Amino acid sequence: MTNISYVDLSNHWKHEKQELLEIIDEVMSNGIFVGGAIIEEFEKKVVDYLGVKHCVALNSGTDALVCAMIGFNIGPGDEVITPPNSFIASTAAIAHIRAIPVFADVLPDQTIDPEKIRMAITDKTKAIMPVHLTGRMCRMDEINAIAKEYGLVVIEDAAQSIGSRFNGVMSGAASDIGCFSTHPLKNLNACGDGGFAVTNDDAVAAKIKSMRNHGLVDRNTVEEFGYVSRMDTIQAAILNYRIDHLDDVIAKRRSNAMLYREVLDASHLYIPDESEEYFNTFHTFVIQVDRRDELAAYLANHGIQTAIHYPVPIHLQPAAKNLGYGLGDFEATETQSKRILTLPINQFITEEQVRFIADMVNSFFEDSGDE
């Protein structure tokens, strides 16, 4: 039996071993572990890649969201609208600064529904935090229009969507500020936690730069208290190498996705369509099916590891109890949470493996159709 794991970081390492060992060796012999030219080089590369004015390297994608909100003076009691089907970090970042997460349900493609955003706006609303889940961008034209109408800040959670585009605009560069993660499981990944925020706003960028380093303006002056959220120099060095190869990673994931679409029998499942507007980068490849758990078990029995992103919506998590939501509040999210299944799509999977997985999905439905 072939074994196809959902993710295999050691495999990733094998492909780049020679280059990365040299890079780590160089950083180590320099003795510069916090800040320095390597961080600046990374920030410059991101600025060039995304076509934005500023990038601030941080310790994680979660911290990028926290810093972005504080950068735009969002604080205790302010409401921030975000989808309930995300990884916990988006909502937790809002809770962390003692703002109030307000959920808006999602479209069939799992991105936040602009009309639901409009309905969730109150006089306390200060910001919208769309999440480009799976590497597919939210409908930023409509979201920005709503934000403009109500005078709201838009903070993109682009943790899963580096390089994605909607109507030609890069994720993270499509609003006031974009927040990215470079966690080991991301398309642009380090060997530990990391993240960054991008913006065209000079003052906000300067504020976040100070905030990541205790709020220090210089060695001896604190204007406003901050955090410690610096990207590790060693991780930045790894990212400097990998960002040069990011387009290859994205191309491979996109070609895997195309192959899935070609081989999977569409009559058994739903995959968001890929119209001209979208350039998706497939951090994850998610199908929506009936009998999801049975399919996952069937695939596991054939050596195929799958995942679910995410089986329990945030509004139904124990930690969200005090937000006052309950079952039935977000129908699309809740229905999808029972139907979504993530198939392996990373850049190291072969065409043969993708075909095998797609065939197994098809045969699950065909075989059971015969019963």
Partner 1 sequence: MKVRYSYLKQQFEHADDLWQELREFVETGDFTLGKPLTKFEESFAELMDSKYAVGVNSGTDAIKLALKVQGIGPGDEVITAANTFVATVGAICELGAVPVFVDCDDTFCMNADLVEVAMTKKTKAIVPVHFTGYMTDMRKIIKIAEKHDLVVVEDACQSILGAIDGKKAGTWASTGAFSLHPLKNLNVWSDGGVIVTSDEGLAEKLRLQRNHGLVDRDTVGVMGCNSRLDTFQAVVGNWLIPEAKNISDRRIANAAYFDQHLGALDPITIPPRPDDYRIVFHLYIIFAEDRDGLLQYCLDQGIEAKVHYPVPIYRQPGLAHLGHKKGDFPVSDEHTKKIITFPCDQHLSREEMDYVIKTVKDYYEQAS
Binding site for partner 1 (CB under 8 A): 8-14, 17, 20-21, 24-25, 27-34, 59-63, 66, 76, 87-89, 91-93, 95-96, 98, 183-184, 191-193, 214-216, 220-230, 232-235, 308, 310-312, 314, 317-320
Q: Which is nearer to partner 1, 99 or 120 (CB)?
A: 99
**Distance of closest approach, residue 303 Cβ to partner 1, in angstroms:** 19
Residue 194 near residue 60, CB atoms below 8 Å: yes
Torsional class of 167: left (φ above 0), alpha (ψ -120 to 50), beta (otherwise)? left
Q: Which is nearer to partner 1, 94 or 173 (CB)?
A: 94
What stretches of the chain show up as alpha helix (H) in DSSP? 9-30, 37-50, 61-71, 88-96, 114-120, 140-150, 202-211, 233-243, 246-263, 292-301, 331-339, 351-370
**Distance of closest approach, residue 317 Cβ to partner 1, in angstroms:** 4
**Distance of closest approach, residue 255 Cβ to partner 1, in angstroms:** 24
**Distance of closest approach, residue 191 Cβ to partner 1, in angstroms:** 5
Q: Which is nearer to partner 1, 311 or 326 (CB)?
A: 311
In the block, which residue shows the tokens 């976040």?
208
Q: Which is nearer to partner 1, 13 or 241 (CB)?
A: 13
Q: Which is nearer to partner 1, 95 or 263 (CB)?
A: 95
**Distance of closest approach, residue 12 Cβ to partner 1, in angstroms:** 7
Q: Which is nearer to partner 1, 3 or 267 (CB)?
A: 3
C-beta neighbour count of 363 within 10 angstroms: 13
Would you give the distance in Å from CA 139 to the centre of its chain? 15
Residue 240 near residue 268, CB atoms below 8 Å: no
Q: Token pair of 321, please?
A: 């109890």
Residue 57 near residue 43, CB atoms below 8 Å: yes
**Distance of closest approach, residue 39 Cβ to partner 1, in angstroms:** 11
Q: Which is nearer to partner 1, 33 or 124 (CB)?
A: 33
**Distance of closest approach, residue 88 Cβ to partner 1, in angstroms:** 5
Alpha-carbon dihedral sign for residues 132, 183, 102, 272 = positive
Q: Which long-range contacts (CB under 8 A, 24 or more apart) does 266-275 make?
A: 268/361, 268/362, 268/365, 269/361, 269/365, 270/108, 270/339, 272/108, 272/109, 272/110, 272/136, 273/109
Q: Token pair of 327, please?
A: 């079952």
